[in-house]
Amino acid sequence: MSRFIAALLAATGCAGVAAAQPPQSVSAPSSVSAEAPLTLEDALAAARARSPGIEAADAGIRATSAARVIAGLRPNPSIQAETENVAGTGAYRGLSSAETTVGVALPIELGGKRSARIGVADARSARARIQAATALADLELQVTQTYIEAAAAERRLVVAREQAAIAGEALRVATERVMVGATFPIDQQRSEVLAINARTAADRAERNVQLSRGNLGRLIGRPITGPLDLAWFDRVGGFGPAVPARSDGTLALAAATADVATADAQVRLARSQRIPDVTVSASARRLEATNDVAAVFGVSIPLPVFNNGRAAIAQASAERDQFAAQRRLARFEAEQAIAAAEAEVANAAATARAAGGPALAAAQESARIARIGYGQGKFGQLELLDAERTLSETRAASTDALAAYHDAQARLLRLTSLAPADLQIPGDNR
């Protein structure tokens, strides 16, 4: 036992040198053909080209563009025709005294209703563009997280296969030592259990790789036959102080602002609708009895007796106040979420560097020394098992830390996604 502790101390001394070297790249699983790695950028581009969510968002933009055209149209004129003094009695029997009037009526909108409708349509068009950008940002987050899961599963498979090979070698050594009487049969039995568990873990890791690759393939629209970019997965950035992100210009705040702008436009529309429209008409009347023709002019103005529009204004104003409060809440929640995500990224980066640097180097060196010592009869099996378990846990922690770091980075990027630079929100007075 004392010799094993001394070996651990020696391995720790070598860890500093090992940590200074860049991590070695891990080869892709043997079931993957030798192709160029599928990078995250490639996966994102393929997903953007076929996403139903992006298609739905684009259709929404087209719909609001058509609604903008409709909002700018003026009311259609109408043709009026009527016949009077027919089918009566006496002099009005038949059609001899008929008076036929044919004309055109034209509604005239007052109070700025047309411009108010256009304002609502413009605000909804801006909101639709924000929804399209949000759908794209959500898709990119989903693809990135799925890519991270696939890369982490691939890395876990490599580690599981290495552990299975090590367990098989340990079983071989234990069997040879039992045959020569250098150790007890229980060491061989322990090694057999470890080898079986290692092979089972490798099979489970293989299935997880197939599952994660299948999920990623469904997102990008094609099966994944080549390796993933594990070099990207190994990289941990974020050295030095980072500039704190702000919520200004983000999609979440832009969406809340567009909702307020739409509510403001609805208030203006409700106010314009309080002013009655005027309908003017011009007609020609033919008198059957004398065969004369006369002009008829008319004006129609509705009386706002029962519905004067005040309730509609009150409703629109209350909704505007609601969306204004929600925008203030959205700013607070966005800033809080961004701050938490930045702290999570920093913590995950520190954990990933520690787990994949000195800790992993020390665990690898300790396990190497333990294997050599056990094969030479200098260490017992318990010391070997402890070193192997430590190495396995450290490798798993390193992979988990890298996955957590990239996931935190992806979520921070989604929180700070900016609205389109050319987006104009009507009435935006932020």
Q: Which of 32, 15, 20, 11 is nearest to 155 (CA)?
A: 32
Residue 356 has pLDDT above 50, yes or no: yes
The answer to whether residue 387 sits within a structural domain is yes
Residue found by looking up tokens 């997965």 in the block = 233
pLDDT in tens, 224-262: 989 999 999 999 976 555 667 788 889 999 999 999 999
pLDDT digits (tens, 9 = 90+) for 281-312: 999 998 887 888 999 999 999 998 899 999 99
Closest among 226, 245, 234 to 34, alpha carbons compared: 226
Tell me, yes or no, whether 251 lies in a domain. Answer: no
Dihedral pair phi/psi, residue 27, rounded to 5°: -70, 155
Q: What percent of the chain has pLDDT over 70?
A: 87
What distance in Å separates the CA atoms of residue 84 and residue 202, rounded to the nearest whole number? 94
Q: How many CB atoms are located within 10 Å of the residue 320 CB?
A: 19
Q: Would you say residue 258 lies in a domain?
A: no
Q: How much is the average pLDDT of 10-16? A: 36
Q: How far apart are CA 374 and CA 7, in angstroms?
A: 12
Residues 56-61 have a mean pLDDT of 95
Output the pTM of the full model: 0.79
Do residues 363 and 296 make contact, with C-beta atoms less than 8 angstroms apart? Answer: no
The reported pLDDT for the residue numbered 187 is 73
Compute the average pLDDT of residues 117-129.
Answer: 95
Question: Which of 9-18, 136-145, 150-159, 413-422 holds the top average pLDDT?
Answer: 136-145
Listed range (118-122, 259-263, 335-339, 424-428) with the worst mean pLDDT = 424-428
* Position 344 in a domain: no
Q: How far, in Å, CA of 198 to CA of 299, rounded?
A: 91
Instruction: Note the pLDDT tens digit of each residue in 162-220.
Output: 888 877 877 887 788 778 776 678 877 877 888 898 899 899 999 999 999 999 999 99
Which pLDDT belongs to residue 220? 95
Residue 3 pLDDT > 50, yes or no? Answer: no
Can you name the residues that pair with 279 across neighbouring β-strands?
107, 300
Domain region containing 168: 2-70+112-243+349-415
pLDDT number for residue 127: 95
The pLDDT value recorded for residue 159 is 85
Helices vs strands, H then E, count in the chain: 10, 4
- CA–CA gap between residue 9 and residue 195 (Å, rounded): 28
Provide the sign of the torsion angle of the four alpha carbons 219, 225, 226, 230, taken in this order: positive
Q: How confident is the model at residue 339 (pLDDT cuts 50, 70, 90)?
A: very high
Task: Point out the least confidently predicted range of 62-76, 123-137, 280-294, 387-401.
Answer: 387-401
Q: What is the CATH number of the domain that holds 6?
A: 1.20.1600.10
Is residue 253 a part of any domain in this protein?
Answer: no
The helix/strand/coil state of 282 is strand
Q: Decide if 301 is inside a domain.
A: no
Give the count of domains, the chain: 1
Length of the chain: 430
Percentage of the residues of the chain whose pLDDT score is greater than 90: 55
* Structure-token pair, residue 375: 């094969």
Domain annotation covers residue 186: yes
Cα separation, 254 vs 244, whole angstroms: 19
Res 428 pLDDT > 70: no
DSSP assignment string, 292-308: EEEEEEEEE----SS--
What is the C-alpha separation between 109 and 269, in angstroms, rounded?
12
Residue 51 carries which side chain, given as an amino acid letter? S
What whole-number distance in Å separates Cα of residue 227 and Cα of residue 262? 48
Q: What are phi and psi of 202, to 5 degrees?
A: -65, -40
In a domain, 353, yes or no: yes
